[in-house]
Amino acid sequence: MRWAMTRASSPLPRGAVIGMVGGGQLGRMTSMAAARLGYRTHILSDNPDDPAMDVAWRHTRLSSAEDAAAIAAFAAAVDVITFETENLPLPLLALLEAQPHCRPSAAVVRLCGDRAEEKRFLQAIGVPTAPWAPVATAEEIEAFRRQAGGRAIVKTCRSGYDGKGQMRVADATAAARAAEALAGKALIAEAVLDFTCEVSVVLARDVAGRIAAFDVTHNLHREGILRESRVPAPIAPEVAARALAAARRVAEGLDYVGIMALEMFVMPDGAVLANEIAPRPHNSGHWTMDACAASQFEQHVRAICGLPLADPTRHADAVMENLIGPEGAARWEELLAKPRCVPHWYGKAEARPGRKLGHATTLAPFGTGGHGPRGGSML
Ligand SMILES: Nc1ncnc2c1ncn2[C@@H]1O[C@H](COP(=O)(O)OP(=O)(O)OP(=O)(O)O)[C@@H](O)[C@H]1O
Ligand SMILES: [Mg+2]
Protein backbone atom coordinates (compact mmCIF):
# COMPACT_ATOMS: atom_id res chain seq x y z
CA MET A 1 0.00 0.00 0.00
CA ARG A 2 1.57 3.28 -1.03
CA TRP A 3 -0.65 5.59 1.00
CA ALA A 4 -1.68 3.87 4.20
CA MET A 5 -5.40 4.27 4.81
CA THR A 6 -4.67 5.42 8.33
CA ARG A 7 -7.98 7.15 8.91
CA ALA A 8 -10.85 5.18 7.48
CA SER A 9 -12.48 8.27 6.04
CA SER A 10 -9.45 10.17 4.69
CA PRO A 11 -9.77 10.49 0.92
CA LEU A 12 -7.19 8.96 -1.40
CA PRO A 13 -5.27 11.73 -3.17
CA ARG A 14 -5.57 12.22 -6.92
CA GLY A 15 -3.00 10.01 -8.65
CA ALA A 16 -3.70 7.12 -6.28
CA VAL A 17 -4.21 3.67 -7.79
CA ILE A 18 -7.38 1.61 -7.63
CA GLY A 19 -6.76 -2.13 -7.85
CA MET A 20 -9.59 -3.90 -9.66
CA VAL A 21 -10.10 -7.64 -9.47
CA GLY A 22 -11.47 -8.53 -12.92
CA GLY A 23 -11.11 -6.85 -16.29
CA GLY A 24 -14.54 -7.06 -17.94
CA GLN A 25 -16.90 -4.28 -18.96
CA LEU A 26 -17.65 -3.29 -15.36
CA GLY A 27 -13.92 -2.83 -14.72
CA ARG A 28 -13.66 -0.88 -17.97
CA MET A 29 -16.45 1.55 -17.11
CA THR A 30 -15.16 1.94 -13.52
CA SER A 31 -11.69 2.73 -14.95
CA MET A 32 -13.17 5.46 -17.14
CA ALA A 33 -14.95 7.05 -14.16
CA ALA A 34 -11.78 6.72 -12.04
CA ALA A 35 -9.66 8.47 -14.66
CA ARG A 36 -12.06 11.42 -14.74
CA LEU A 37 -11.66 11.84 -10.97
CA GLY A 38 -7.85 11.69 -11.26
CA TYR A 39 -7.27 8.07 -10.24
CA ARG A 40 -5.51 5.28 -12.12
CA THR A 41 -6.65 1.66 -12.27
CA HIS A 42 -4.61 -1.50 -12.09
CA ILE A 43 -6.38 -4.68 -13.22
CA LEU A 44 -5.83 -8.17 -11.81
CA SER A 45 -7.04 -10.82 -14.26
CA ASP A 46 -5.89 -13.80 -16.28
CA ASN A 47 -6.02 -11.96 -19.60
CA PRO A 48 -3.99 -8.81 -20.39
CA ASP A 49 -6.36 -8.14 -23.33
CA ASP A 50 -9.47 -7.89 -21.17
CA PRO A 51 -11.92 -5.06 -22.12
CA ALA A 52 -10.78 -2.91 -19.17
CA MET A 53 -7.22 -2.82 -20.53
CA ASP A 54 -8.21 -0.40 -23.32
CA VAL A 55 -8.60 2.24 -20.61
CA ALA A 56 -6.80 1.01 -17.46
CA TRP A 57 -3.25 1.91 -16.40
CA ARG A 58 -1.59 -1.38 -15.45
CA HIS A 59 -2.28 -5.09 -15.46
CA THR A 60 -1.14 -7.98 -13.30
CA ARG A 61 -1.61 -11.40 -14.81
CA LEU A 62 -3.05 -14.06 -12.58
CA SER A 63 -1.82 -17.46 -13.74
CA SER A 64 -4.13 -19.37 -11.37
CA ALA A 65 -6.45 -18.75 -8.42
CA GLU A 66 -3.56 -19.73 -6.17
CA ASP A 67 -1.04 -17.33 -7.71
CA ALA A 68 -0.06 -15.83 -4.34
CA ALA A 69 2.95 -13.99 -5.83
CA ALA A 70 0.81 -12.13 -8.37
CA ILE A 71 -1.79 -11.25 -5.75
CA ALA A 72 0.86 -9.98 -3.33
CA ALA A 73 2.52 -7.86 -6.04
CA PHE A 74 -0.84 -6.45 -7.12
CA ALA A 75 -1.90 -5.68 -3.53
CA ALA A 76 1.38 -3.89 -2.83
CA ALA A 77 1.12 -1.74 -5.98
CA VAL A 78 -2.36 -0.32 -5.33
CA ASP A 79 -3.97 1.93 -2.72
CA VAL A 80 -7.35 0.27 -2.51
CA ILE A 81 -8.63 -3.04 -3.90
CA THR A 82 -12.09 -3.46 -5.37
CA PHE A 83 -14.02 -5.98 -7.46
CA GLU A 84 -16.02 -6.14 -10.66
CA THR A 85 -17.28 -9.68 -10.09
CA GLU A 86 -18.18 -11.98 -7.20
CA ASN A 87 -17.68 -15.10 -9.32
CA LEU A 88 -14.15 -15.67 -8.06
CA PRO A 89 -12.46 -18.90 -6.97
CA LEU A 90 -12.34 -19.43 -3.20
CA PRO A 91 -8.51 -19.66 -3.01
CA LEU A 92 -8.23 -16.24 -4.68
CA LEU A 93 -10.78 -14.76 -2.27
CA ALA A 94 -8.92 -16.31 0.68
CA LEU A 95 -5.67 -14.64 -0.44
CA LEU A 96 -7.48 -11.31 -0.86
CA GLU A 97 -9.08 -11.66 2.58
CA ALA A 98 -5.58 -11.24 4.01
CA GLN A 99 -5.36 -7.79 2.38
CA PRO A 100 -6.73 -5.06 4.64
CA HIS A 101 -7.43 -2.53 1.91
CA CYS A 102 -10.34 -4.22 0.10
CA ARG A 103 -13.53 -2.21 -0.38
CA PRO A 104 -15.94 -3.96 -0.11
CA SER A 105 -14.17 -6.61 1.98
CA ALA A 106 -13.26 -9.91 0.31
CA ALA A 107 -15.43 -11.69 2.91
CA VAL A 108 -18.47 -9.72 1.72
CA VAL A 109 -17.66 -10.59 -1.91
CA ARG A 110 -17.37 -14.27 -0.92
CA LEU A 111 -20.76 -14.20 0.81
CA CYS A 112 -22.42 -12.61 -2.23
CA GLY A 113 -20.83 -15.24 -4.49
CA ASP A 114 -22.62 -18.08 -2.72
CA ARG A 115 -26.41 -18.26 -3.07
CA ALA A 116 -26.89 -20.30 0.12
CA GLU A 117 -24.74 -18.00 2.27
CA GLU A 118 -26.40 -14.97 0.72
CA LYS A 119 -29.91 -16.28 1.42
CA ARG A 120 -29.01 -17.16 5.02
CA PHE A 121 -27.71 -13.64 5.49
CA LEU A 122 -30.88 -12.11 3.99
CA GLN A 123 -32.98 -14.27 6.30
CA ALA A 124 -30.88 -13.25 9.32
CA ILE A 125 -31.41 -9.53 8.66
CA GLY A 126 -35.14 -9.96 7.99
CA VAL A 127 -35.16 -9.39 4.21
CA PRO A 128 -37.60 -11.89 2.69
CA THR A 129 -36.66 -14.16 -0.26
CA ALA A 130 -38.40 -16.86 -2.30
CA PRO A 131 -38.82 -20.12 -0.35
CA TRP A 132 -35.58 -22.07 -0.82
CA ALA A 133 -33.55 -24.99 0.53
CA PRO A 134 -30.11 -26.48 0.01
CA VAL A 135 -30.47 -29.66 -2.10
CA ALA A 136 -28.08 -32.40 -3.23
CA THR A 137 -30.01 -35.37 -4.60
CA ALA A 138 -32.85 -35.98 -7.07
CA GLU A 139 -35.05 -37.01 -4.11
CA GLU A 140 -34.37 -33.74 -2.28
CA ILE A 141 -35.07 -31.69 -5.41
CA GLU A 142 -38.30 -33.61 -6.02
CA ALA A 143 -39.41 -33.23 -2.40
CA PHE A 144 -38.74 -29.48 -2.56
CA ARG A 145 -40.58 -29.15 -5.87
CA ARG A 146 -43.72 -30.82 -4.51
CA GLN A 147 -43.67 -28.72 -1.38
CA ALA A 148 -43.11 -25.55 -3.46
CA GLY A 149 -46.32 -26.05 -5.47
CA GLY A 150 -44.97 -28.18 -8.31
CA ARG A 151 -42.29 -25.92 -9.83
CA ALA A 152 -38.76 -25.17 -8.70
CA ILE A 153 -35.53 -23.70 -10.01
CA VAL A 154 -32.32 -25.49 -9.12
CA LYS A 155 -29.32 -23.15 -9.01
CA THR A 156 -25.64 -23.76 -8.38
CA CYS A 157 -24.55 -21.94 -5.22
CA ARG A 158 -21.47 -20.52 -6.91
CA SER A 159 -20.40 -19.23 -10.36
CA GLY A 160 -23.85 -18.58 -11.84
CA TYR A 161 -24.52 -15.53 -14.00
CA ASP A 162 -26.87 -14.62 -16.85
CA GLY A 163 -29.02 -17.63 -15.93
CA LYS A 164 -26.11 -20.09 -16.27
CA GLY A 165 -26.02 -22.95 -13.75
CA GLN A 166 -29.83 -22.98 -13.39
CA MET A 167 -32.45 -25.54 -14.33
CA ARG A 168 -36.21 -25.32 -14.05
CA VAL A 169 -37.92 -28.41 -12.72
CA ALA A 170 -41.64 -29.13 -13.15
CA ASP A 171 -41.81 -32.93 -12.67
CA ALA A 172 -39.90 -35.84 -11.16
CA THR A 173 -38.04 -36.60 -14.42
CA ALA A 174 -36.76 -33.02 -14.59
CA ALA A 175 -35.71 -33.24 -10.93
CA ALA A 176 -33.59 -36.31 -11.74
CA ARG A 177 -32.16 -34.61 -14.82
CA ALA A 178 -31.17 -31.51 -12.83
CA ALA A 179 -29.52 -33.61 -10.11
CA GLU A 180 -27.50 -35.41 -12.79
CA ALA A 181 -26.55 -32.34 -14.82
CA LEU A 182 -25.48 -30.33 -11.77
CA ALA A 183 -23.94 -33.23 -9.81
CA GLY A 184 -20.86 -32.45 -7.74
CA LYS A 185 -21.82 -28.80 -7.20
CA ALA A 186 -23.38 -27.25 -4.10
CA LEU A 187 -27.00 -26.48 -5.03
CA ILE A 188 -30.10 -24.75 -3.81
CA ALA A 189 -33.69 -25.09 -5.00
CA GLU A 190 -36.03 -22.11 -5.11
CA ALA A 191 -39.79 -21.91 -5.57
CA VAL A 192 -40.74 -20.42 -8.95
CA LEU A 193 -42.35 -17.07 -8.22
CA ASP A 194 -45.20 -15.59 -10.25
CA PHE A 195 -43.92 -12.06 -9.79
CA THR A 196 -45.45 -8.88 -11.22
CA CYS A 197 -42.07 -7.45 -12.17
CA GLU A 198 -38.38 -7.49 -11.34
CA VAL A 199 -36.68 -4.43 -9.89
CA SER A 200 -33.32 -3.51 -8.45
CA VAL A 201 -31.83 -0.84 -6.25
CA VAL A 202 -28.29 0.29 -6.93
CA LEU A 203 -26.83 2.22 -4.02
CA ALA A 204 -23.49 3.45 -2.76
CA ARG A 205 -22.39 3.41 0.88
CA ASP A 206 -19.35 5.40 1.93
CA VAL A 207 -16.79 4.72 4.65
CA ALA A 208 -18.79 6.82 7.13
CA GLY A 209 -21.96 4.81 6.44
CA ARG A 210 -23.79 7.41 4.35
CA ILE A 211 -25.94 5.93 1.59
CA ALA A 212 -26.98 7.35 -1.78
CA ALA A 213 -29.49 5.27 -3.73
CA PHE A 214 -30.39 5.60 -7.38
CA ASP A 215 -34.02 5.29 -8.38
CA VAL A 216 -35.57 1.84 -8.34
CA THR A 217 -35.05 0.24 -11.76
CA HIS A 218 -37.46 -2.03 -13.63
CA ASN A 219 -35.60 -5.00 -15.17
CA LEU A 220 -36.78 -7.19 -18.04
CA HIS A 221 -35.09 -10.57 -18.55
CA ARG A 222 -35.34 -13.11 -21.35
CA GLU A 223 -33.76 -16.58 -21.12
CA GLY A 224 -32.24 -15.61 -17.77
CA ILE A 225 -30.35 -12.63 -19.29
CA LEU A 226 -31.13 -8.99 -18.53
CA ARG A 227 -32.38 -7.38 -21.76
CA GLU A 228 -33.69 -4.01 -20.65
CA SER A 229 -33.71 -1.73 -17.60
CA ARG A 230 -36.14 1.18 -17.28
CA VAL A 231 -36.59 4.15 -14.96
CA PRO A 232 -38.98 5.05 -13.53
CA ALA A 233 -40.20 1.59 -12.53
CA PRO A 234 -43.93 0.90 -12.84
CA ILE A 235 -44.44 0.42 -9.10
CA ALA A 236 -46.36 2.24 -6.37
CA PRO A 237 -44.38 4.60 -4.10
CA GLU A 238 -44.81 2.25 -1.12
CA VAL A 239 -43.35 -0.64 -3.13
CA ALA A 240 -40.38 1.55 -4.12
CA ALA A 241 -39.93 2.48 -0.46
CA ARG A 242 -39.92 -1.23 0.49
CA ALA A 243 -37.28 -1.98 -2.17
CA LEU A 244 -35.09 0.91 -1.01
CA ALA A 245 -35.43 -0.13 2.64
CA ALA A 246 -34.43 -3.73 1.83
CA ALA A 247 -31.34 -2.57 -0.09
CA ARG A 248 -30.37 -0.24 2.73
CA ARG A 249 -30.71 -3.03 5.28
CA VAL A 250 -28.43 -5.24 3.18
CA ALA A 251 -25.78 -2.51 2.82
CA GLU A 252 -25.82 -1.81 6.54
CA GLY A 253 -25.89 -5.50 7.49
CA LEU A 254 -22.75 -6.10 5.40
CA ASP A 255 -21.08 -2.87 6.59
CA TYR A 256 -20.71 -2.38 2.87
CA VAL A 257 -18.38 0.16 1.22
CA GLY A 258 -18.79 0.90 -2.48
CA ILE A 259 -21.59 0.41 -4.99
CA MET A 260 -23.91 -2.58 -4.67
CA ALA A 261 -27.16 -3.78 -6.17
CA LEU A 262 -30.05 -5.74 -4.75
CA GLU A 263 -32.16 -7.61 -7.32
CA MET A 264 -35.75 -8.11 -6.21
CA PHE A 265 -39.07 -9.60 -7.29
CA VAL A 266 -42.27 -7.58 -6.82
CA MET A 267 -45.22 -9.83 -5.99
CA PRO A 268 -48.87 -9.18 -6.91
CA ASP A 269 -49.66 -8.14 -3.30
CA GLY A 270 -46.86 -5.55 -3.36
CA ALA A 271 -44.42 -7.65 -1.31
CA VAL A 272 -40.78 -7.32 -2.33
CA LEU A 273 -38.61 -10.46 -2.22
CA ALA A 274 -34.83 -10.28 -2.55
CA ASN A 275 -33.24 -12.37 -5.31
CA GLU A 276 -29.53 -11.66 -5.14
CA ILE A 277 -26.92 -9.13 -4.05
CA ALA A 278 -24.26 -7.88 -6.46
CA PRO A 279 -21.21 -6.50 -4.58
CA ARG A 280 -20.15 -4.30 -7.52
CA PRO A 281 -21.59 -2.05 -10.24
CA HIS A 282 -24.60 -3.75 -11.81
CA ASN A 283 -25.97 -3.99 -15.34
CA SER A 284 -29.29 -2.54 -14.14
CA GLY A 285 -27.43 0.64 -13.08
CA HIS A 286 -25.90 1.41 -16.50
CA TRP A 287 -28.60 4.00 -17.23
CA THR A 288 -27.05 6.19 -14.49
CA MET A 289 -24.14 6.92 -16.87
CA ASP A 290 -26.41 9.03 -19.04
CA ALA A 291 -29.38 9.97 -16.84
CA CYS A 292 -27.54 11.19 -13.71
CA ALA A 293 -24.76 13.72 -13.11
CA ALA A 294 -22.69 10.95 -11.45
CA SER A 295 -22.94 7.34 -12.65
CA GLN A 296 -22.89 4.18 -10.53
CA PHE A 297 -19.21 3.82 -11.56
CA GLU A 298 -18.30 7.30 -10.33
CA GLN A 299 -20.27 6.67 -7.13
CA HIS A 300 -18.28 3.46 -6.60
CA VAL A 301 -14.96 5.26 -7.09
CA ARG A 302 -16.07 8.03 -4.72
CA ALA A 303 -17.13 5.53 -2.03
CA ILE A 304 -13.99 3.37 -2.12
CA CYS A 305 -11.63 6.35 -2.34
CA GLY A 306 -13.24 8.15 0.62
CA LEU A 307 -14.67 11.04 -1.43
CA PRO A 308 -18.11 12.45 -0.70
CA LEU A 309 -20.91 10.62 -2.52
CA ALA A 310 -22.59 12.50 -5.35
CA ASP A 311 -26.26 13.41 -5.42
CA PRO A 312 -27.96 10.39 -7.06
CA THR A 313 -30.82 12.38 -8.56
CA ARG A 314 -31.64 11.55 -12.14
CA HIS A 315 -32.32 14.26 -14.70
CA ALA A 316 -33.99 12.07 -17.33
CA ASP A 317 -36.19 9.03 -17.76
CA ALA A 318 -34.25 6.21 -19.38
CA VAL A 319 -34.45 2.87 -21.14
CA MET A 320 -31.21 0.87 -21.24
CA GLU A 321 -30.97 -2.04 -23.70
CA ASN A 322 -28.22 -4.61 -23.63
CA LEU A 323 -26.51 -5.52 -26.91
CA ILE A 324 -26.23 -9.29 -26.69
CA GLY A 325 -24.38 -11.54 -29.13
CA PRO A 326 -24.18 -11.01 -32.91
CA GLU A 327 -27.83 -9.75 -33.07
CA GLY A 328 -26.96 -7.05 -30.53
CA ALA A 329 -23.80 -6.09 -32.40
CA ALA A 330 -25.79 -5.79 -35.63
CA ARG A 331 -27.84 -2.97 -34.09
CA TRP A 332 -24.86 -0.68 -33.53
CA GLU A 333 -25.34 1.54 -36.62
CA GLU A 334 -29.04 1.94 -35.92
CA LEU A 335 -28.34 2.97 -32.30
CA LEU A 336 -25.65 5.45 -33.38
CA ALA A 337 -28.30 7.17 -35.48
CA LYS A 338 -31.12 7.02 -32.94
CA PRO A 339 -32.03 10.38 -31.36
CA ARG A 340 -31.34 10.82 -27.60
CA CYS A 341 -29.62 7.44 -27.54
CA VAL A 342 -26.18 6.95 -25.93
CA PRO A 343 -24.39 3.82 -27.18
CA HIS A 344 -21.61 2.10 -25.18
CA TRP A 345 -19.30 -0.56 -26.65
CA TYR A 346 -17.27 -2.90 -24.42
CA GLY A 347 -14.43 -3.84 -26.78
CA LYS A 348 -14.71 -7.61 -26.30
CA ALA A 349 -12.59 -9.76 -28.59
CA GLU A 350 -15.41 -12.04 -29.77
CA ALA A 351 -19.14 -11.54 -30.43
CA ARG A 352 -20.23 -14.92 -29.08
CA PRO A 353 -23.98 -15.62 -28.78
CA GLY A 354 -25.38 -14.67 -25.37
CA ARG A 355 -22.45 -12.39 -24.58
CA LYS A 356 -23.03 -8.78 -23.46
CA LEU A 357 -21.12 -6.68 -26.02
CA GLY A 358 -22.42 -3.24 -25.20
CA HIS A 359 -25.51 -1.34 -24.18
CA ALA A 360 -27.43 1.73 -25.28
CA THR A 361 -29.49 4.12 -23.18
CA THR A 362 -32.31 6.14 -24.68
CA LEU A 363 -33.25 9.23 -22.72
CA ALA A 364 -36.54 11.07 -22.40
CA PRO A 365 -37.22 14.27 -20.45
CA PHE A 366 -37.53 13.66 -16.70
CA GLY A 367 -41.05 12.73 -15.66
CA THR A 368 -42.37 11.81 -19.12
CA GLY A 369 -42.03 8.04 -18.57
CA GLY A 370 -45.15 7.92 -16.37
CA HIS A 371 -45.48 6.44 -12.89
CA GLY A 372 -44.60 9.75 -11.23
CA PRO A 373 -41.09 11.16 -11.00
CA ARG A 374 -39.08 10.32 -7.92
CA GLY A 375 -35.44 10.83 -8.62
CA GLY A 376 -32.94 9.08 -6.27
CA SER A 377 -32.41 9.63 -2.58
CA MET A 378 -29.88 10.06 0.18
CA LEU A 379 -31.07 7.43 2.70
N1 LIG B 1 -37.31 -18.06 -7.97
C2 LIG B 1 -37.51 -17.53 -9.18
N3 LIG B 1 -38.77 -17.43 -9.67
C4 LIG B 1 -39.00 -16.91 -10.90
N5 LIG B 1 -38.03 -16.47 -11.73
C6 LIG B 1 -36.75 -16.55 -11.29
C7 LIG B 1 -36.42 -17.09 -10.00
N8 LIG B 1 -35.09 -17.05 -9.86
C9 LIG B 1 -34.59 -16.51 -10.99
N10 LIG B 1 -35.58 -16.20 -11.87
C11 LIG B 1 -35.41 -15.56 -13.20
O12 LIG B 1 -34.12 -15.84 -13.71
C13 LIG B 1 -33.32 -14.63 -13.75
C14 LIG B 1 -31.88 -14.93 -13.41
O15 LIG B 1 -31.84 -15.49 -12.10
P16 LIG B 1 -30.68 -15.11 -11.06
O17 LIG B 1 -30.64 -13.66 -10.87
O18 LIG B 1 -30.83 -15.97 -9.87
O19 LIG B 1 -29.45 -15.67 -11.90
P20 LIG B 1 -28.06 -15.15 -12.36
O21 LIG B 1 -27.57 -16.17 -13.29
O22 LIG B 1 -27.28 -14.78 -11.18
O23 LIG B 1 -28.39 -13.87 -13.17
P24 LIG B 1 -27.59 -12.50 -13.23
O25 LIG B 1 -26.23 -12.73 -12.75
O26 LIG B 1 -27.65 -12.14 -14.68
O27 LIG B 1 -28.41 -11.58 -12.38
C28 LIG B 1 -34.02 -13.71 -12.76
O29 LIG B 1 -33.71 -12.36 -12.99
C30 LIG B 1 -35.47 -14.06 -13.02
O31 LIG B 1 -35.93 -13.49 -14.22
MG1 LIG C 1 -29.63 -12.13 -11.06
- pLDDT, residue 162, reads 80
Does ligand 1 have an atom closer than 6 angstroms to the CB of 86?
A: no
Q: Let me know how long the chain is.
A: 379
- pLDDT, residue 8, reads 55
Give the bridge partners for 211, in sequence order: 205
Distance CA 347, CA 210 (A): 34
3-state secondary structure 310-373: CCCCECEEEEEEEEEHHHHHCCHHHHHHCCCEEEEECCCCCCCCCCEEEEEEEEEECCCCCCCC
Query: Is pLDDT of 22 > 70?
Result: yes
CB-count exposure of residue 353 (10 Å: 0-12, 13-18, 19+): exposed
Report CA(275)–ligand 2 centroid distance (Å). Answer: 7
pLDDT in tens, 347-373: 999 999 999 999 999 999 998 876 655
Query: Is pLDDT of 303 > 80?
Result: yes
CB 13 within 8 A of CB 37: no
> What mean pLDDT is predicted for residues 202-226?
96
Strands 341-345 and 356-365: antiparallel
Helix, strand, coil percent content, the chain, rounded in steps of 5: 30, 30, 40
Query: Is pLDDT of 236 > 80?
Result: yes
- pLDDT, residue 222, reads 93
Residue closest to 159 by CA, chosen among 198, 227, 112: 112
Of 164 and 209, the one with more pLDDT? 209
> What mean pLDDT is predicted for residues 174-201?
97
Residues with CB under 5 A from ligand 2 (ion): 263, 276
Report CA(11)–ligand 2 centroid distance (Å). Answer: 32
CA end-to-end distance (rounded Å), the chain: 32
> What mean pLDDT is predicted for residues 82-100?
96
Of 164 and 59, the one with more pLDDT? 59
Helices (H), the chain: 25-36, 68-77, 90-97, 106-112, 115-124, 138-147, 172-181, 237-253, 288-291, 296-304, 325-329, 332-337
Q: Is the dihedral of CA 110, 112, 118, 124 positive or negative?
A: positive
Does ligand 1 have an atom closer than 6 angstroms to the CB of 84?
A: no
Does ligand 1 have an atom closer than 6 angstroms to the CB of 210?
A: no
pLDDT in tens, 162-183: 878 899 999 999 999 999 999 9
* Cis amide leading into 232 (omega within 30): yes
Residue closest to 154 by CA, chosen among 117, 125, 180, 124: 180
- Please, what is the average pLDDT of the chain? 95
- pLDDT, residue 7, reads 43
Query: Is pLDDT of 336 > 90?
Result: yes
- pLDDT, residue 6, reads 43
Compute φ and ψ for 167, nearest 5 degrees: -140, 135
Does ligand 1 have an atom closer than 6 angstroms to the CB of 152?
A: no
> What mean pLDDT is predicted for residues 72-78?
97
- pLDDT, residue 163, reads 79
The answer to whether the predicted template modeling score (pTM) of the entire model surpasses 0.85 is yes
Does ligand 1 have an atom closer than 6 angstroms to the CB of 148?
A: no
- pLDDT, residue 376, reads 76
Report CA(224)–ligand 2 centroid distance (Å). Answer: 8
- Can you list the domains of the chain with their CATH numbers? 17-115 (3.40.50.20), 131-191 (3.30.1490.20), 197-378 (3.30.470.20)
Percent of the chain exceeding pLDDT 70 equals 96
pLDDT in tens, 311-322: 999 999 999 999
Which ligand 1 atom minimizes the distance to the CA of 162?
26
Query: Is pLDDT of 9 > 70?
Result: no
Does ligand 1 have an atom closer than 6 angstroms to the CB of 131?
A: no
